[in-house]
C-alpha cells in the first residue's frame, strides 16, 4: 500500500527530487520594477486627476 502511494506521488511530481528528475525548476517571479518614465507619467496623471 505504501509503495503504491509513493509511486503515485512520484507520478504527480510532489517531491523536489521528482522535479529535478524531470528538470523542472520553480522560481519566485521577479517583482515588477517601474522605470522613472513610468513613475513620472503616473505622477502627472495623478496631478491632473486622471486615472
Residue 3 inside a domain? The answer is yes
Taking only the tens place, the pLDDT of each residue in 17-44 is 766 666 767 778 888 888 999 999 999 9
pLDDT of residue 44: 92
Domain encompassing residue 9: 1-25
Residue 13 inside a domain? The answer is yes
Residue 35 inside a domain? The answer is no
Element (H, E) at 28: none
Kindly tell me the number of DSSP H helices and DSSP E strands found in the chain.
3, 0
Helices (H), the chain: 2-11, 16-21, 36-48
pLDDT of residue 19: 66
Residue 6 inside a domain? The answer is yes
Residue 40 inside a domain? The answer is no
Residue 14 inside a domain? The answer is yes
pLDDT of residue 24: 67
Q: How many domains does the chain have?
A: 1
pLDDT of residue 33: 87
pTM for the model: 0.37
Tell how far CA 6 is from the center of its chain.
Answer: 27
Residues ≥6 apart with Cβ < 8 Å to 32: none
Amino acid at each position: 500500500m505504501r509503495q503504491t502511494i509513493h509511486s503515485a506521488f512520484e507520478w504527480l511530481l510532489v517531491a523536489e527530487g521528482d522535479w529535478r528528475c524531470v528538470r523542472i525548476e520553480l522560481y519566485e517571479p521577479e517583482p515588477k520594477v517601474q522605470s522613472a518614465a513610468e513613475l513620472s507619467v503616473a505622477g502627472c496623471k495623478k496631478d491632473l486627476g486622471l486615472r
